[in-house]
Structure 1
Amino acid sequence: MSIKKKILVLLLYYLTRQFAETSELKEANMKVYCNEYVPYGLQTNVVITMENLPVKSAITIHLSTPSYLLAFFEIGNVPKEMPPKFRRTSSISRELSFYAIRTKKKPVYEEGYFANLTATFWSKTDRILKLLGRTKSSSRIFEIREIVPVKVNLPQRCHPHLTMPKCSDAQSPRQVLITRGLFINALFLDTCNLTIRTTYTWTLKDAVGFSQFLSYNTDSPHLSIRPFKLRFSPSHELWRNFYVLQFKGMLDGFYFSSRCYIKLIMGQVEAVIIGGKTRSASRSETLWMDGSTSYDFSKRNKEVQFSSYNWNCYSLEDSRNPFCHQNISCGVFDSCKFFKSWLHIYIPFKSD
């Protein structure tokens, strides 16, 4: 095949792939439904629908208000299925009725897929619910947006209202270095002229609140988390180092709450081989390589740095030369993975 034909084939593949990803995003035809008036501080239902589920591409879905991330997940061609679960239905209207969602907006389609979310709204400033669908190719990002107006139905009596400055927007989370820790305070926007004396509860969860990692109780609306404390493994890669810290209190039987979104900045990892970047050895001797001083700056000095080490060996003069790989002590050609920081390479005698 000529070079021109190869370029043409690659170009056609590239354009076809981009078209398929954009097409699946549009064909999904995502919609979001909820009641026009949502209750303050009580669970309510929100339904996301799709006319067609993606198969070839992966679509990232982000559903939020200005202060509340309801859903953040991937669907379609992804390595691990994420919640919520979409189910097929012949009547979107019937499903909305089942979840007690009454809306003036009639479903655009009846047959399709739906997923139900339970949401709790704590901010009277949340007036829109925005659904963002996104897919990305090798060079571009394609997006579709859907916006639904909502009104938080406040209690008849005055209710304390608060926020967490500079971190209530999930799209602009507060960046925190793991080596610095975190100090945060909740700010009351309205105390209803009451003296608020209560125990405050703080919970740290993954970005959408499925898994809880930490819990604290304080007697003031302030919290300090020590350095190196915010390091947890979420159940999905999309939520890595992305957390929500929820603050909750109670006064005269009424709860009030606020959320703070955090993006954890991890430290660097430094790989070190004792003895420097160059070593000399004769053909007949055993060469020992020690990487035990390698360091993960996201961990304290006294913590175990690594549980396993990967070693790769190749020839600078000839990358196809298998000599180096064949003489790594564990006998794996491409990499050597084991639970010690020592690598043993035996270099046999070879006459010229």
Structure 2
Amino acid sequence: MPASTLFPWLLLLTVVSLAAADGGDADGSTVTGQIRPLSRLNVGGTAITPGADSGGFYRTWDNDAPYIFGAAFGVTFEKDSNVSIQYNPPSVPPYAAPEGVYATARSMGPVAQINLSYNLTWILPVDAGFYYLLRFHFCEIQYPITKVNQRSFFIYINNQTAQEQMDVIVWSGGIGRAVYTDYLIVTAVDSGQTDLWVALHPDLSSKPEYYDAILNGLEVFKLHKYGFNTLAGPNPPIPPKKINTVDGSRPESRKKSVVYAAVGGVAAGCLLAVLVACLFAYAIRGRRRKAEADQPADGLFGPTKSSTHFDPVQK
């Protein structure tokens, strides 16, 4: 059941053989180019300091809990007291990982129905546009898992099926025997940061006895950039330039506000001028009427009383 997330940059997924932790070869197969370890996780166990590492490599193995996605942490456990960790040189030399990595593990849990409802998932941040080598460390360390087809599961990398019917007993040869497998992913040419998703889920195709999955350790190596022989990562993104304004408004809005204010001021000034002119004209007219009432009647007169009486003319 792949996680329902979009990761279109996974172009190629292939199994490779890379035994040495610094990018050496095994079985005649070599991964060319530079290689840089990004993450080493002791899945299900505590951090392992460089002094406790194997093979004199002085590697640090971190606890995997901070990288688990969501609240589905599964269960962690240690090897049974009567189980001893066995390496298988030259395919699995002791320097592949310290015994502490193979002596602890994380599984999905004892309830089959719950295990079928989720993926046990880890998320690791990486730079886009690079090759990455993922190394999975496995070891069955508890009874009763001792036989073939007791536990079988899928391995997903960025929503792509990397492995079907992963049976640790088949791959290792028995309980307590360490084994690892490598997967090389080629990311699309891109820039910036992205997430690398790793997930496990029960594979029921072979009808296993237990619906479960297990992982003991996980390593992520950064190889050269896609199309280039370099390990340089991208620069951090430049934040957008912020425009500072006095009132917090945009410059265009402020410019429009100034224009509107100017037009309003001119209109108010014109209205005030008209009002003053009207008042002045009204005052002048009132004074003229008063002056005309005080001077003698001459010129045009209105109707007056006459002492002359006119009788109708009779014929």
- Tell me which interval the TM-score lies in, with the shorter structure as reference length: under 0.3
- Whose helix proportion is higher, 1 or 2? 2
